[in-house]
Amino acid sequence: MSRQVDIVVPASEQQGTSHVVANWLVQPGEKVQADAPLVDLETDKVMVEVAAPASGILKTVCKQPGDTVEPGTLLGRIECDGESTLTTTPAAQATPDPAPNTPARQIERALLSPAVRRLVKQHRIDLGQISGSGKRGRVTKQDVLAYLQQSAEGEKARPLAGLQEQDRPTPVATASSTHIPHDNMRRKIAQRMSDSLLHTAPHVTSIFEADLSAIMQHRKRHRESFREQGVSLTLTAYFVSAAARALQWEPKVNSRFHADSLELFSEINIGIGTALEGQGLIVPVIQQAQKRNLLGIAAELQRLTESARTGRLSPADLQGGTFTISNHGVSGSLVATPIIINQPQSAILGVGKIEKRAVVRELEGDDVIAVRPMAYITLTIDHRALDAYQANRFLGRFVEVLEQWNSGQEDND
């Protein structure tokens, strides 16, 4: 006896989260296997892969690519036979073979992982130009990266045939320009940035300067020992650690403004602005940074950064942030102001490009000119929640921690 099982949008830990149906990996009438990838949902930050709740036949598709859905929305139904059980297949089980009558291009599409689909969409690649090295000829992420590396014209590769129109931006040519339609991520970023700056929080920015000699020397001494533990010791890890200490020193910066109160957070969850190579910006979060030493921060930062750039971030990796850092200096920017506050937080820290500059220092009572690695540090605040007093106290402590990094703050501190 057969029965039908509902496929629904999974509940989100973040209230108000909406999704857009990006692509069905299986077509109606095809076999599905419990826990195998079934449909991709795109939020403004990540791609969420919904797994099949049971084994059987995809009977009904209720939502099409481009439709906006909320947690709990019915996406479709699976028809199961009497022996099928719900979500009992191990999550690591391979995606089932597509039905024999599935068109070849649909089979190609169904076997693509989210990371591969992201690269294909970003670089407009003709999948037919790549020989898959995975099981059943599946094109892997490594195959795509190798193709891009070998092709001098990789960025001009042709669009992937067989994609739904809404899956890729279609340039619209005019006499002297080209319009590239915004994807869901870019539309959400535009909306949130405008709301934060123009409709929510009055932005004010303070600027300090930091001598990074101490952390540069510390990194030089300990980079190899971190590498032996499989961890890359980046300068951003120092900025996260110093920010956590400064937030403990001035806790009002780690807050959220309400009409009748200022909510102070006991946990320090620091988001790191991460660019996705022209696709937008997301902010993965290092949870409870105040409890992590430098090694722990560097390891978590490495995991989040790699996951962000390969499309493997989970919704949980992006939630719960109480403070944000924008290390915009990695792309050459000296000062960026105002950096738009990541609502509903009260402040965002900016770290500019590190460059050697001549500065005046006192040596044995005399002023001398020294060459030091310097960077401009900014803090943009929600002036409803904070004043210059709290902003400057935070920045002063942040710079002090960086400039006085010493033997008491070695690789385990």
Please give the positions annotated as active site.
Answer: 383, 387
DSSP E strands, 265-307: 270-272, 274-275, 281-282, 285-286
Cα separation, 372 vs 158, whole angstroms: 48
Cα separation, 229 vs 226, whole angstroms: 5
Residues 286, 300: contact at Cβ < 8 Å?
A: yes
Residues 244, 266: contact at Cβ < 8 Å?
A: no
Nearest to 28 by CA among 7, 2, 14: 7
Cα separation, 151 vs 157, whole angstroms: 9
Cα separation, 145 vs 258, whole angstroms: 46
Residues 268, 286: contact at Cβ < 8 Å?
A: no
Strand 270-272 to strand 323-326: parallel, antiparallel, or no bridges (unpaired)? parallel
Q: If DSSP codes are grouped into helix, strand and coil, which group holds residue 408? A: coil
Residues 302, 284: contact at Cβ < 8 Å?
A: no
Rounded to 5 degrees, φ, ψ at 174 are: -120, -170
What contacts 24+ positions apart, CB below 8 Å, involve 165-170? 166/65, 166/66, 167/22, 167/23, 167/65, 167/121, 168/121, 168/124
Nearest to 37 by CA among 47, 25, 27: 25
* Alpha helices in 174-212, H assignment, sequence order: 184-194
DSSP for 65-114, please give it.
TT-EE-TT-EEEEEEE-TT--BT-S-TTSPPPPPPTTS-HHHHHHHT--H
Question: What count of residues does the chain have?
Answer: 413
